Amino acid sequence: MEVTKKRMVYHERQRLYFCGQHTLNNLFQDKVFTKEQLDNIALKLAEKTSLEIWTWSSYFVNPHKSLLGNYDVNVLEMALREKDLEVKWFDVRKDIRSVIQFADKSLFGLILNIPSSRYFWTSYHWIAIKHFQYNEEPAEVYNLDSKLYLPEKFENLEKVYKFLEFVLYKSGNILLVKKGVE
């Protein structure tokens, strides 16, 4: 992957454990979601899923986010639905090159969830992969991992597919974010 200097690509860097927020903002190429907005979504989800056990402590211990700010997939999916986008989980039994088509005008981007081992535990890290299509030229695809110092432009689509295959090999997940929620 080569580091891009050619185009201005919006890229939020990692701060604490807010990779879910950074991933969404990197995908939208702007500061669209705040911590407060995502916390409210997590709170709504907790209220919905646990009405019978809802207590004051639910404000502090939420099954949809960690104390340090890491949001689960339900929060990201609901935030995307609020922006009229849908999320489709990649089926690992399918061929990645036939399912993920960067020329598809309904593809908004990809969200990856990859395992990250530290000391005695494994946590997961959210990453945005965003493509830009200009006329009939091949799509420019960027890795917008918030842990990167700068966004990284993939040299070509084959490099993107190899990266995505590696994510799946490491037991990660790929979510396709599509326009046009029905």
Q: Nearest-CA neighbor of 7 among 169, 176, 137?
A: 137
> Residue for token digits 């500061």?
31
Residue 57, phi-psi category: left (phi > 0), alpha (psi -120 to 50), beta (remainder): alpha
19 noted as active-site residue: yes
- Active-site residue, selected from the candidate residues 11, 19, 22, 131: 19
How deeply is 104 buried, as exposed, middle or buried, from its count of CB atoms within 10 A (0-12, 13-18, 19+)? middle
Residues 3 and 124: their CA atoms lie apart, in Å, by 24
- Active-site residue, selected from the candidate residues 11, 64, 125, 131: 125
Buried b (16+ CB within 10 A) or exposed e, 40-62: ebbbebbeeeeeeeeeeeeeeeb
Edge-to-edge strand ranges of the sheet holding 121-132: 2-3, 152-153, 140-143, 121-132, 107-118, 173-179, 85-89
Positions annotated as catalytic residues are 19, 125
